[in-house]
Structure 1
């Protein structure tokens, strides 16, 4: 029996989740300095919006999101992942009443992938949100296939479809099959900065000179400045809205 459970009610899965749900993410994704500013407050304010998805007492997947107020127009969308996090925290502190659930991340453990669990957990959390006073559900999605086309603008990539009309990207396709529609690109969803040494560690690459580099799992390119000892990566996402 599959079950969606608030993470705070199931601490027995915490250790497993910490390992399992970091497996398929590139290391650099965890180094957005702006995200770090809001992480603790997000956890404190919205514990009810972080979930484990289990079956027969086995952790299958996890997901989390945040509530915001959104007027259902593209211009009022947050800038992306980081801006959503900031907006949810600041709106909560200002006592703004939310009407929208933003699904920020969902992950299926590596040894359970390919069995339809991603669709099940997205459906479960979407239904939970609408049943609990947040009738609008949106998501800044990280398209998995985009890393194969890092030089292609996200605005172009999001228009690519297969012969059947579904998105070329498999993660976008999962959402669309569940009733989602593509809303808009988020070309600067997250920003990761670090020293050259940081980026060499995060990517397991060498950057001998100043320039623009493609990196493993990067959805776009990394700009390295050897003289300033900095690397800058601005990650694009795609906004989706669930029916």
Structure 2
């Protein structure tokens, strides 16, 4: 994507990767609007970075998405970049009974939220001289973590959706990029300072370079081996990955 002179809407923009992207893109001269469920956090980011604006949005609520999309089209006619970043990552255990309500929250937030929001804005984006849709998935889209099975599945589904959407928009001025983060030290689960987690500032720096390259998929070099899913060796890879976490679990 072009990294300057955009009008950008970022969901989940009050913390973690979303906030860091918002701050970096704002510093580069873009108009940035962030979304989140809590108005107090939106106000906090806006106060810390004058010029960033916030809109309260429950990304899991289809009616709220329609409301906010209409507001964006009305108030920000030059909107040309959508960053579907909001996500939740509850733990589950697929070896036993999985809580249905929790699974629905994950899918409504991580998968249907981006699908609904993109659908509500895509005709507006097509009308811009140049536009970009960015989906924030995860390395767990390729190598799932067994303790967050529904989360991993939601990200795999969003990756698949991005592939289809990119093809269907091939003859338009809208490009689709995907960010596939590794384990980044944010509060998605719990900010812990674990040395296995990539520092947020390092992740953002590498990601911005990738976004500028116009590559369809942006991932940091550290996860290349996991991204290069080894075909029929996938089962052994996923088993070994999860066994390593059993032996040295992520702090929670």
Query: Is this a same-fold pair by TM over 0.5?
Result: no
Which TM-score applies when normalising by structure 1?
0.33
* Bigger proportion of residues as strand: 1
* Bigger proportion of residues as helix: 2
Which TM-score applies when normalising by structure 2?
0.32
